[in-house]
Amino acid sequence: EAGVTQFPSHSVIEKGQTVTLRCDPISGHDNLYWYRRVMGKEIKFLLHFVKESKQDESGMPNNRFLAERTGGTYSTLKVQPAELEDSGVYFCASSPLRGTMGNTEAFFGQGTRLTVV
Amino acid sequence: GENVEQHPSTLSVQEGDSAVIKCTYSDSASNYFPWYKQELGKRPQLIIDIRSNVGEKKDQRIAVTLNKTAKHFSLHITETQPEDSAVYFCASSPHSGNTPLVFGKGTRLSVIA
């Protein structure tokens, strides 16, 4: 079974440009999460999809970030326009949907390292 | 909201020694505590998790302990090996089924052969 895959693995862009990150979750996983790790800091939550719906976007830094998950399959995270402080590693994770059974393992992708210069 | 503190940020041990990483959390509603290991250039992977209805869980050389009263949990690695070298993240999440994880800042463990 394929794991969570993310594209691209690395991206270097200039300040003011646009970048789109993609995440393909494990097939059948309705939960999809975006996280970001700035160097030396915690892995910080950005956004949670359940199928195609945004369940929680409280972690999105500002309106320069736009996430979509059309059809409830893969997701994209667009940063427009990118700023220097957006640099970091963006992780995507997915997990099966659980009701009241409690959290289960979240499977992570390898991340996209974004560098804004 | 939940806040997770993790210590130490770096840890070096001799091969064969034990390593302990500690985390505290702030939200008493948190009931799920996973630990992730991230090797260089690879994805974070779950190595062990614990729920609030137990105080300790072991899996071979790895164990996690949880003290709900004090709101802290710890990862214990015994008989460390060079392949244990990685960044370890603790996390917590309320027991509502699908909520996002709140992570600590990570601990870089180096096992010296």
Reported as a single tens digit per residue, the pLDDT across B21-62 is: 999 999 998 989 999 999 998 999 999 999 888 899 999 999
Instruction: Grade residue A37 by pLDDT with cuts at 50, 70 and 90.
Output: very high
Instruction: Grade residue B95 by pLDDT with cuts at 50, 70 and 90.
Output: low
Q: How far apart are CA A86 and CA B82, in angstroms?
A: 34
The reported pLDDT for the residue numbered B60 is 96
Q: How far apart are CA A68 and CA A78, in angstroms?
A: 9
> Looking at chain B, which residue has its C-alpha nearest residue A39?
B105
Give the SS3 label for residue A6: strand
Omega cis (within 30) before B82: no
Distance (Å) from the alpha carbon of A44 to chain B's nearest alpha carbon: 7
Q: Is the dihedral of CA A39, A40, A42, A43 positive or negative?
A: positive
Chain Cα centroid distance, residue A79: 11
Q: Do A102 and B32 touch (CB under 8 A)?
A: yes
User: Which residue type, as a one-letter code, is found at position B4?
Assistant: V
Q: Do B100 and A48 touch (CB under 8 A)?
A: yes
Q: How far apart are CA B30 and CA B13, in angstroms?
A: 31
Question: A7: how many CB neighbours lie within 10 A of its CB?
Answer: 14
The reported pLDDT for the residue numbered A35 is 97
The reported pLDDT for the residue numbered A1 is 58
A56 at the B interface (CB within 8 A)?
Answer: yes
Which tens digit of pLDDT belongs to each residue from A73-93? 999 999 999 999 999 999 999
Going by their DSSP bridges, the two strands B10-14 and B62-67 should be labelled as: unpaired
Which tens digit of pLDDT belongs to each residue from A89-113? 999 999 998 765 566 789 999 999 9
> Looking at chain A, which residue has its C-alpha nearest residue B92?
A103
Contact list in A for residue B10 (CB cut-off 8 A) is none
Q: Which of B100, B105, B106 sits opposite A45 (nearest CB)?
A: B100
> Hey, which residues 75-114 in chain A have their CB within 8 Å of chain B?
91, 95, 97-103, 105-111
User: Residue A76 has which token pair?
Assistant: 């994209």
Q: Is the pLDDT of residue B96 over 80?
A: no
Q: Give buried/exposed letters for B41-57 (b at 16+ CB in 10 A, else e).
A: eebbeebbbbebeeeee
Best CA proximity match to B8, nearest among B94, B110, B112, B113: B110
Q: Is the pLDDT of residue A18 over 70?
A: yes
* Percent of chain A clearing pLDDT 90 (strictly above): 84
Q: Is the pLDDT of residue A116 over 90?
A: yes
Instruction: Grade residue A39 by pLDDT with cuts at 50, 70 and 90.
Output: confident
Best CA proximity match to A20, nearest among A80, A85, A71: A80
Best CA proximity match to B88, nearest among B33, B14, B16, B32: B33
Q: Which of B32, B43, B45 sits opposite A103 (nearest CB)?
A: B32
Mean pLDDT, range B83-111, rounded to an integer: 91
Best CA proximity match to B6, nearest among B28, B34, B31, B29: B34
Q: Which of B34, B41, B98 sits opposite A98 (nearest CB)?
A: B98
A41 at the B interface (CB within 8 A)?
Answer: yes
Q: How far apart are CA B77 and CA B93, in angstroms?
A: 23
The reported pLDDT for the residue numbered B99 is 84
Best CA proximity match to B49, nearest among B67, B30, B36, B68: B36
